[in-house]
Structure 1
Amino acid sequence: MALKFGTFMAPFHPPGTGQNPSTAYERDVALIQHMDRLGFDEAWIGEHHSCGTELIPDPFMFIMYMANLTKHIKLGTGVTSLPYHNPLWVADRALFADRLLRGRFMLGIGPGALPTDADMIGISLEEQRGAMEEDFDVLMALLRGESVTKETNRYRLKDARTQYAPYSDFDIAVAAIASPTGPRAASKNGAHLISVGATAAGGFDALALHWDVMEERAPQFGHKADRTKWRLAGPMHLAETKEEAIEQVRYGLDAWCDYTQDVLAAPHFRAAGKSFEERVEWVNESGLGVIGTPDMAIAQIERLEKQSGGFGSYLLIAHEWARHKDNLNSFELFADHVMPRFQGSADRLTGAEQWARSRWDELDGRQGAAIAAATERHASEKSGSQA
């Protein structure tokens, strides 16, 4: 099946590379506009409130800012940390965004990735994933137009309902990293699944778990597990040569790895190695991602297809390992050389070139002879008129 491509943008702006929030946001905007021009399918925008690196607190606000700055690319919350919010307000914002974006909106849901976020508002880490499953059931009921009465230690709903129907049948996806929480919620409600960091060493093992849960549980709730609705996300940085790519990520790879090792309390998404060289090797050899060439990116996605049994979309995790201009070039190389391999968009072009090449000897000779004959005929007519 033809793959779709996009980005999963936390976004990561490590202080170690010297960040100004205003210019960091401008780079995020520019990257999505660049992707829109290049033909990427979608961009998912994160929600984070602490740690000084993942700087967007409200993906809905950012998406609406981007709406009139883009033409084609779909924009999604990637993801809304559902236990932090009243599900009724999330449903209302999603329906509103869907209507304003006229079919370009996507809704992504998760339990919340940063333990510091949950801790600041008194949500127990031990209860967070269960809360997400519970709240997702409520959210889906509200989106279906049902009336909901429910009370938890986070909110109270009394005969709650939304005011209008969706504008479109927008994608609703649940994020998963290492635990089965995401696929449990997605399979129960017929939603899409985003396996974030699924290319990491532990994530490779989680791929089979994620899809086993989807296939086992979906029929129990009247749904069918559909691989085209499965998105995998991983980081890449591409250049014309592997050596160039490695040199370019000297700018920000260490800062990103330091963040995952010493600031982000998430053992399932932690870099390995202390030296720059060790970290480059870890990215390329562990299965996490690619620092190298488009051919290496193709090999990575083919490996993931084989490992997972097939999926519908691949999302590039935005990371700023390299300077902005090199980052933009990486996405352009991906669009030019990697996407056609999995979308078949170059197949007819290749076929047309091969067909023309097979006819070259015959047609080149005939064309030359035809030109010579026309020239001779003109000369003959000219000499006849002068006689």
Structure 2
Amino acid sequence: MRNGIFLAPFHALDQDPTEALHRDLELIEHLDRLGYEEAWIGEHHSAGFEIIASPELFIAAAAERTRRIRLGTGVVSLPYHNPLMTANRIIQLDHMTRGRVMFGVGPGLLPSDAMMLGIDPMTQRDRMMEGLAVILRLFRGEVVTEQSDWFNLVNARTHLLPYTRPHPEMAVASAVSPSGGRAAGKYGFGMLCVAATAADGFDALATNWQIACQIAQEDGRTMDRNGLRLVGPVHIAPTREQARANVQWGLHKWLEYFARLNPLSPRTPEGMDPIDAMIATGQAVIGTPDDAIAQIHRLQAKQGHFGAFLQLAHNWASFDHTIKSYALWAEHVAPVFKHANASRQASYDWTMSNANEFIGKAMMAAGAMIQRHADEQAAKAAAS
């Protein structure tokens, strides 16, 4: 299982936005050093918290600061952009990163973004599929002439072909509705299950994956579970008490943002601590590395194998405690699901289960050597 993050990001309104963006870049640098494999960067245009408007710009900067970590758009909201412009930006990034970019797509999540652009939310999912079909043709080097009610292309072509052939790895955002699963199945793309640990998203995991598999099967293809990525919030510390104390720094601002953004979203039961509620429902891990391991096992029991777990970046804790949480994951959680210590454990178990026999033989060998030396010395003394 690969490890990564999904960086919307979420920055409270009392933080300096310039510093927040630079801390996001610093975070990606830390993750690269810690061995994380992926980081997905969001696109949003309203509501003040999720302040990265261009994931492509952020990825270009992050790529210059890192060496190994792969960087994905999480996601480009296709109905907001002319397909030719989107294709050209991703192809340029593919060359600039020498193949480290991944292309995540979606219809657009925040209704307020669509409202500012005069886009009817009822049209967004259909427009995503329209734009996606054109982008794939452009990736293949086709010359496209096509007009719809929201874009017009005349003899359009990209002047570069992708660095990665036939194109960068692609993934579709999936939450509760079946649109993500339908698109993933149609084209064989990966899925970014952005609400995998929330109640509705968790319930929809198997359904949406099954939809993708059925549609892929109709086209004679099989979905690859390595392209399935589950997203959920995590904050871990050496003790549960420390983790709970750490998230008091910013969790309430995050909760207020979502409560006001979606007044219809479920509320914490009256009189219940929000942290207790999030832990009890499995919405979040706020605890120790062992609690994080238990969450992954829970998701595997629901979904089966999946290729990557992406921690939802949230700024519940101070930056120092946040970095420590990611480091604890890399040190104690990631090795469990990479089976990094399987051979070491087998060697340890074999050695310890045979320790009495092996030590006995070693002691006999040492005793024999002592006796041999004594015999040699005695023989020399007798000869003299």
Whether the TM-score (by the shorter chain) exceeds 0.5 is yes
Q: Give the Cα–Cα distance (whole angstroms) in 2 for the partners of residues 276 and 37 of structure 1.
A: 42
SS at match of 1:273: coil
Q: Give the Cα–Cα distance (whole angstroms) in 2 for the partners of residues 58 and 195 of structure 1.
A: 21
Conservation of the 8 A alpha-carbon contact between 1:149 and 1:159: yes
Q: Comparing 215-224 with 154-163, which one deviates more in the overlay?
A: 215-224
Give 1:376 deviation, angstroms: 9.6
SS at match of 1:52: coil
Identity of aligned residues (%): 44
1:78 aligns with 2:82: no
Conservation of the 8 A alpha-carbon contact between 1:257 and 1:271: no
User: Relative to 1, partners in 2 of residues 1:254 and 1:315: Cα closer, same or farther, differing over 3 Å?
Assistant: same
Conservation of the 8 A alpha-carbon contact between 2:94 and 2:100: yes
Alignment correspondent of 2:251? 253
Alignment correspondent of 2:208? 210
SS at match of 1:139: helix
2:276 paired residue among 272, 278, 281:
281
Give 1:378 deviation, angstroms: 9.3
Long gaps (5+) in structure 1: none
Q: Give the Cα–Cα distance (whole angstroms) in 2 for the partners of residues 166 and 122 of structure 1.
A: 32
Q: Give the Cα–Cα distance (whole angstroms) in 2 for the partners of residues 271 and 34 of structure 1.
A: 34
Q: Give the Cα–Cα distance (whole angstroms) in 2 for the partners of residues 235 and 271 of structure 1.
A: 17
Alignment correspondent of 1:103? 99
User: Relative to 1, partners in 2 of residues 1:266 and 1:352: Cα closer, same or farther, differing over 3 Å?
Assistant: farther
Q: Give the Cα–Cα distance (whole angstroms) in 2 for the partners of residues 266 and 84 of structure 1.
A: 25
Amino acid in structure 2 at the alignment position of 1:38: L
User: Relative to 1, partners in 2 of residues 1:372 and 1:29: Cα closer, same or farther, differing over 3 Å?
Assistant: farther
Amino acid in structure 2 at the alignment position of 1:189: Y
1:269-295 CA deviation, whole Å, 9 max, x = no partner? Answer: x46328896211221112212111111
Give 1:374 deviation, angstroms: 7.8
Q: Give the Cα–Cα distance (whole angstroms) in 1 for the partners of residues 310 and 32 of structure 2.
A: 14
Give 1:371 deviation, angstroms: 7.2
* 1:151-162 correspondence to structure 2 within 5 Å: 151-162=147-158
Amino acid in structure 1 at the alignment position of 2:10: F
Q: Give the Cα–Cα distance (whole angstroms) in 1 for the partners of residues 23 and 367 of structure 2.
A: 58
Over the residues paired in the alignment, what is the CA RMSD in angstroms? 2.4
Amino acid in structure 2 at the alignment position of 1:72: R
SS at match of 1:47: coil
Give 1:30 deviation, angstroms: 1.9
Conservation of the 8 A alpha-carbon contact between 1:80 and 1:109: yes
Conservation of the 8 A alpha-carbon contact between 1:6 and 1:40: yes
1:314 aligns with 2:312: no
Alignment correspondent of 2:133? 137
Q: Comparing 148-157 with 97-106, which one deviates more in the overlay?
A: 148-157
1:37 paired residue among 33, 50, 62:
33
Give 1:86 deviation, angstroms: 0.7
1:187-225 CA deviation, whole Å, 9 max, x = no partner? Answer: 112211111112110112211221121012113334322
Amino acid in structure 2 at the alignment position of 1:179: S
Conservation of the 8 A alpha-carbon contact between 1:142 and 1:162: yes
Alignment correspondent of 2:224? 226
1:56 aligns with 2:52: yes
Give 1:324 deviation, angstroms: 0.8
Amino acid in structure 2 at the alignment position of 1:233: V
Long gaps (5+) in structure 2: none
Q: Give the Cα–Cα distance (whole angstroms) in 2 for the partners of residues 286 and 244 of structure 1.
A: 20
Alignment correspondent of 2:123? 127
Alignment correspondent of 1:329? 324
Q: Give the Cα–Cα distance (whole angstroms) in 1 for the partners of residues 344 and 318 of structure 2.
A: 33
Q: Give the Cα–Cα distance (whole angstroms) in 2 for the partners of residues 282 and 163 of structure 1.
A: 52
Amino acid in structure 1 at the alignment position of 2:274: R
Amino acid in structure 1 at the alignment position of 2:350: W
Q: Give the Cα–Cα distance (whole angstroms) in 1 for the partners of residues 208 and 364 of structure 2.
A: 65
Alignment correspondent of 1:19? 15
Amino acid in structure 1 at the alignment position of 2:306: F
TM-score by length of 1: 0.90
Q: Comparing 52-61 with 367-376, which one deviates more in the overlay?
A: 367-376
Pair member with larger Rg: 2
Q: Comparing 128-137 with 354-363, which one deviates more in the overlay?
A: 354-363
1:73-99 CA deviation, whole Å, 9 max, x = no partner? Answer: 100111111111111111111111111
1:240-265 CA deviation, whole Å, 9 max, x = no partner? Answer: 11111111100111100000001x24
Amino acid in structure 1 at the alignment position of 2:311: L
Alignment correspondent of 1:347? 342
Amino acid in structure 2 at the alignment position of 1:102: R
Give 1:178 deviation, angstroms: 1.3
Conservation of the 8 A alpha-carbon contact between 1:189 and 1:221: no
Conservation of the 8 A alpha-carbon contact between 2:225 and 2:305: yes
Conservation of the 8 A alpha-carbon contact between 1:136 and 1:185: no
Give 1:131 deviation, angstroms: 1.2
Amino acid in structure 2 at the alignment position of 1:353: Y
TM-score by length of 2: 0.91
1:279-329 CA deviation, whole Å, 9 max, x = no partner? Answer: 112211122121111111111111111112332111110001111111111
* 1:179-190 correspondence to structure 2 within 5 Å: 179-190=177-188
Q: Give the Cα–Cα distance (whole angstroms) in 1 for the partners of residues 353 and 304 of structure 2.
A: 37
